[in-house]
Chain A
Amino acid sequence: MTVEQRKPPRNLNLRLRRALGGRAGWGGFVAQLAFVAFLAWLGYEIYSNAQANLQSQRIATGFGFMQNTAGFAVSQALIPYQESDSYTRVFVVGLLNTLLVSVIGIIFATVLGFIVGLGRLSPNWLMSRLAGGYVELIRNLPLLFQILFWYLAVLATLPAPRQSVSLFGMFFLNNRGVIVPKPIGEAGFEPFLFALLTAILGSIALGVVARRRLFATGQRLKVWPFVLGMLFGLPLVSVLIFGKPVSFEMPVLRGFNFASGSRLIPEFVALLIALSTYTAAFIAEIVRAGVLSVHKGQMEAGASLGLSRGAALRLIVVPQALRVILPPLTNQYLNLTKNSSLAVAIGYPDLVSVFAGTTLSQTGQAIEIIAITMGVYLLISLVTSAIMNFYNWRISRSLAR
């Protein structure tokens, strides 16, 4: 019995009509065109109105202000910055601070979220209740209060600089942050870095070879002595030949604060803790849902193969759960990045604080600055989504094979 396949008509005109107008045909196409034209007109009208209103109110417009001198200081800058730099530089400094707290926050939140999410599924009564309690407590409190809590609570318990908690006279903890010795690159720095990099790449290559051998022949190669040897041996050889890679500048108390050394400011730490613990609570639920979506027979099959619970989770369940986990996980990453704009409440110099805050109030060019800031957040979010979608695509593909 053969069923004749229904083939779409070959008529190009008809196909084009279907594609553009859907079922409604050419009429639908015209309606869509009119709608797009209406949107374009609306956009143009808003733009030209704003332009005309600003002009009639004599409010300055344009992006020329970006070259002007900023004239204010910023408490944390990843690139060299001083008061005489331009607003463009302020923008970059703020953007980097936002990215820094977002990226580290995403890493912490993911690790913590997976631990809590898997912990909640644990057969251990205490562990699952603890994880459950954490999720319910953290995700039900407003984030802004958590940020303020971490900031003010932590600040209140820390001592003033002169009464710093000190570790070996090298690490200091006080209400100005954590101060550590500052590494300064020496002559041997580049060879050292090169040696370390070679060792890491070599170890990875060795791992891949061992894995291939395992899959092909079932033989397990003993690689760890070689890996250890490379990771320690190569850098050591580099130090012996080229001299020490770094020297450390010790923190010294001068005046009110520590003058030298590197410092982690409390605003950063508070924001990082608040963002990662808050987002971790949501990620934990996503992970739990993802794991539960995998049929329990998979876990039992793992157990019957003699795998431990951890190994069965890691090797069988989580890879399948990832497909369900990734899309909502992307949402959480985007949320964390956008939530980092609450930093302004505790004075962390992120993009919103230094650019959409201080720069805006000094120049008064609200429309331009808000537009740039919104554009940047949009861009960060789209890039994050693209990366996650790519990862998701790869995982789905490998599972489908």
Chain B
Amino acid sequence: MKRASLVLTLAVAATLPAGTVFAQTLKTVKDRGTLSCGVTHGLPGFSAPDDKGNWTGLDVDLCRAIAAVVLNDPTKIKFVPLSAKDRFTALQSGEIDVLSRNTTWTLSRDTQLGLNFGAVNYYDGQGFMVRKSLNIDSALKLDSASACVQTGTTNEQNLADYFKANKMKYEVIAFATADETLKAYEAGRCDTFTSDVSQVYAERLKLAKPEDHIVLPEVISKEPLATVVRHGDDQWLDIIKWTHYAMVNAEELGVTQKNVDEMMKSDKPEVKRLLGTDGNLGEQLGLTKDWAVRIVKTVGNYGESFDRNVGAGSKLNIARGLNRLWNQGGIQYAPPIR
């Protein structure tokens, strides 16, 4: 199935009229009336359908915010679930407008794939989950272990680097999807399940007895998870980046989903510029003056979205850590809106 779709996209890429560049994504999306957004097959906290079939999550919130500013309707989105392996091809071929699927920003992906990375909406790192019964408290004690990992991710290389650097032996078994990886781990094929820490926490909840498994303290890599768009459409890239930055700036300025109407009356210059009561910054982006108001009304500010999906207000209960605002000890830092 998956392979068929990959070959199909390749065939499409090969037969498109020469010189087709995906320059005007904004216009395309407006004409079509829906935003096509690439997400996971279901990763709780980032992008997963709930029991009523609505997609929720931190990455999904970003898609909804983009739809809100571009189409003025956060429901006009077509979510396209993609495996780690197929995600870039889907974006390259124009099947999706934006990839919001916990994707690590690396140099080779930025340069070799004809893609551009937007803003980092989650700073992550790779970690390990093991059975409590193994009685180990550190990844450095994983010598000779078998590791289950999902193929098509940055995790395979990180794993090799980490074990080599620490002169430890290991065996890696790479699966096509996250579900198969987890099943093999649960069946006892591997001593450890490894992925980005946020994902490890999310997958742990899918196990029959999550309390029998622990996440080791080591974080062995840098995984800045960002949105991705096609290379060569600067306006669209700007919109994607600034949608996230508006959410971060809103948190910094104390604008929330609840008080946004009230804040419209604020006379603080920064708030006025963000919410468009002063100046035409939204129009400079090719959007409307009230673009940031639409974002905050739809998904709240960054902090609210984080808490609701992955933080204290969610089942995952992941600490904010690196994702705190820069003035609260984290590294989420948005350029000023002015």
Chain A residues packing against B (C-beta within 8 Å): 46-50, 52-54, 56-60, 71-75, 83, 151-152, 155-156, 158, 160, 175-176, 254-257, 259, 266-267, 341, 344-347, 349, 352-354, 356-358, 360-367, 370
Contact = CB atoms under 8 A, between A and B. Distances in A.
A256 B145 contact: yes
A48 B17 CA distance: 10
Contacts of A75: 171-174
B174 A347 contact: yes
Given A58-B232, A60-B112, A361-B84, A176 B15 contact: no
A361 B114 contact: no
A174 B174 CA distance: 19
Contacts of A54: 13, 114
A255 B143 contact: yes
Contacts of B324: none
A156 B187 CA distance: 5
B14 A155 contact: no
B175 A361 contact: no
Interface stretch (B53-61, B152-160, B204-212, B254-262): B152-160
Contact of A152 (B151, B170, B187): B187
Given A83-B164, A345-B180, A367-B10, A176 B16 contact: no
B137 interface: no
A59 B112 contact: yes
A175 B189 contact: yes
Interface in B15-69: 15-22
Contacts of B108: 362-364
B113 A72 contact: no
A256 B191 contact: yes
Interface stretch (B85-93, B217-225, B313-321): B85-93
Contact of A362 (B14, B15, B20, B157): B157
A83 B170 CA distance: 12
A175 B16 contact: no
B188 interface: yes
B179 to A, nearest CB: 10
A353 B169 CA distance: 22
B109 interface: yes
Interface residues of B, number: 60
A46 B15 contact: yes
A57 B232 contact: yes
B244 interface: no
User: Do most interface residues of chain B lie in helix, strand or loop, or is the interface mixed?
Assistant: mixed
Contacts of B189: 155, 175-176, 266
B187 A364 contact: no
Contact of A160 (B15, B180, B188): B188
A97 to B, nearest CB: 13
A383 to B, nearest CB: 23
B7 interface: yes
B144 interface: yes
Contacts of B15: 46, 49
B80 interface: no
Interface of B: 3, 6-7, 10, 13-22, 84-85, 88-89, 92, 108-109, 111-114, 134, 142-146, 148, 151-153, 156-157, 159-161, 164, 169-176, 180-181, 183-184, 187-189, 191, 230-232
A344 B21 CA distance: 34
A73 B187 contact: no
Nearest to A358: B151
A158 B20 CA distance: 55
Contacts of A356: 3
B144 A256 contact: yes
B231 A57 contact: yes
Contacts of B142: 256
Contacts of B10: 366-367, 370
7 contacts: A46-B15, A57-B92, A57-B230, A58-B232, A60-B113, A176-B146, A344-B175
Contacts of A346: 175, 180, 184
Q: List 3 tightest A-B contacts by C-beta distance, closest first.
A: A255-B144, A361-B152, A57-B114
Contacts of B112: 59-60, 363-365
A54 B112 CA distance: 11
B187 A72 contact: no
A371 to B, nearest CB: 9
A333 B221 CA distance: 44
Contacts of B89: 366
A266 B188 CA distance: 11
Contact of A50 (B14, B157, B171, B172): B14
A101 to B, nearest CB: 15
A259 B176 CA distance: 27
Contacts of A152: 183-184, 187
Nearest to A158: B188
B180 A257 contact: no
Contacts of B157: 71-72, 362
Contacts of A347: 148, 173-175, 180-181, 184
Contacts of B232: 56-58
A366 B230 contact: no
Contacts of A365: 112
A168 to B, nearest CB: 23
B178 to A, nearest CB: 13
Contacts of A151: 184
